Amino acid sequence: MSLVVKDLSKKYGDKPALQNLSFSMEEPGVYAVLGTNGAGKTTALRMILGMLSKDSGEVVWKGHELDIKTCNVGYLAEERGLYPKYPILDQLLYFAALRKVDKNTALKRIKELANTLEVQEYIFPQNAYSSSGKTVKKIKPKRPDQLSKGNQQKIQFMIALLSDPELLILDEPMSGLDPVNTDLFKNIIRQEINKGKYIIMSSHQMPTVEEFCTDIVILDKSRIVLQGNLNEIKKQLGRTRLSLKVEKNINDIIAKEGVSVISEKEYEYELKVSGSEQANALLSDLIFAQVPIIKFDLKEPSLHEIFVSKVGNEQ
């Protein structure tokens, strides 16, 4: 067992911030910590990292208490920040040095990451040259306060990755990013997964979580409302989502079978069925009524639906 989080609890005054969070990661992969705003996700991640004191519980990494000494951990915090006035390269080298990465290795890694995240022009600016090859303008490296929020976020992501961490904790890694930069981040996360890293991710972007995560825990009001392997959870919940596209109105057939409609648009239906028996009955009715069927797709519920159903019910 590489990572064991056992019975983490925390109160702020009398108000519980996290109650009995437990999970473990036996193998490399991505574990998602999900929840509504204020559910206790960031508190949980900070407690795992030892930044917040625990009222109870423990976090064990490969048999030892998780600590900066026992685990090479990379962290992208929810509260993003850099030293606003110091040169970016100085900061990257500083964080690399603190993680005991030698300067040459750090520079090599900074160049690779800067290239992947498309921020090399801010860290290693090229001087402007005239046609005769003379330096026309010497361009200074940028400081963080001269960058957009998205680019600052890329620099922070670089810091998290500089030491080639074994455990990567990403708190809302893609919040505030445009689709192009989101894809850049996703590519790097994919690379880290392929390298066999342990990743704990918190996010509100359910499709992204679904794309990467094998296991999840959903928190609501500091408590766990759902936990486990995502595929198994989906299997347990069954195939209850039916996407149906036909060429005429079938509202009477749907009503006859007692199926609830989630959405309907130009004979394209999203339906919620009780299971495969009800879906098959509906299919028989449609065939018997000689309704031309373009699409009939019985699916497992999406993570978004699972999340909304669990947290929505709680709320």
Q: Which is nearer to other proteins, 65 or 112 (CB)?
A: 65
- Residue 285 beta carbon to other proteins: minimum distance, rounded to whole angstroms: 57
| Chosen residue from 13, 14, 27, 53 binding other proteins by CB under 8 A | 53
- Residue 99 beta carbon to other proteins: minimum distance, rounded to whole angstroms: 5
Cβ-contact 193, 159 below 8 angstroms: no
Q: Which is nearer to other proteins, 68 or 128 (CB)?
A: 68
- Residue 186 beta carbon to other proteins: minimum distance, rounded to whole angstroms: 21
Q: What gap in Å lies between CA 39 and CA 234, rounded to an integer?
A: 22
- Residue 24 beta carbon to other proteins: minimum distance, rounded to whole angstroms: 21
Q: Which is nearer to other proteins, 7 or 90 (CB)?
A: 90
Write the binding mask 76 to 115 for other proteins: x where contact by CB under 8 A, - elsewhere. Answer: -x-xxxxxx-x---x---xx-xxx----------------
Q: What gap in Å lies between CA 127 and CA 193, rounded to an integer?
A: 37
Q: Which is nearer to other proteins, 95 or 185 (CB)?
A: 95
Q: Is 271 in the site for other proteins (CB under 8 A)?
A: no
DSSP 60-113: EETTEE--TTT--EEEE-SS----TTS-HHHHHHHHHHHTT--HHHHHHHHHHH
Q: Is 200 helix (H, G, I), strand (E, B) or coil?
A: strand
- Residue 79 beta carbon to other proteins: minimum distance, rounded to whole angstroms: 5
- Residue 44 beta carbon to other proteins: minimum distance, rounded to whole angstroms: 13
Q: Is 52 in the site for other proteins (CB under 8 A)?
A: yes
Q: What gap in Å lies between CA 294 and CA 95, rounded to an integer?
A: 56
Which run of H or E residues covers position 149? helix 149-161
- Residue 265 beta carbon to other proteins: minimum distance, rounded to whole angstroms: 44
Amino acid at 157: F
Q: Is 15 in the site for other proteins (CB under 8 A)?
A: no
Per DSSP (E only), the strands in the chain are 3-12, 15-25, 29-35, 56-61, 64-65, 73-76, 128-129, 135-137, 167-171, 198-202, 215-220, 223-229, 241-246, 260-265, 268-272, 293-299
Q: What gap in Å lies between CA 64 and CA 66, rounded to an integer?
A: 6
| Chosen residue from 73, 161, 188, 311 binding other proteins by CB under 8 A | 73
Cβ-contact 99, 75 below 8 angstroms: no
Q: Is 51 in the site for other proteins (CB under 8 A)?
A: yes
Q: Is 202 in the site for other proteins (CB under 8 A)?
A: no
**Which tokens belong to 43?**
């508190």
Q: Which is nearer to other proteins, 203 or 240 (CB)?
A: 203
**Which tokens belong to 132?**
């005769």
Binding site for other proteins (CB under 8 A): 46, 49, 51-53, 68-69, 73-75, 77, 79-84, 86, 90, 94-95, 97-99, 156, 159-160
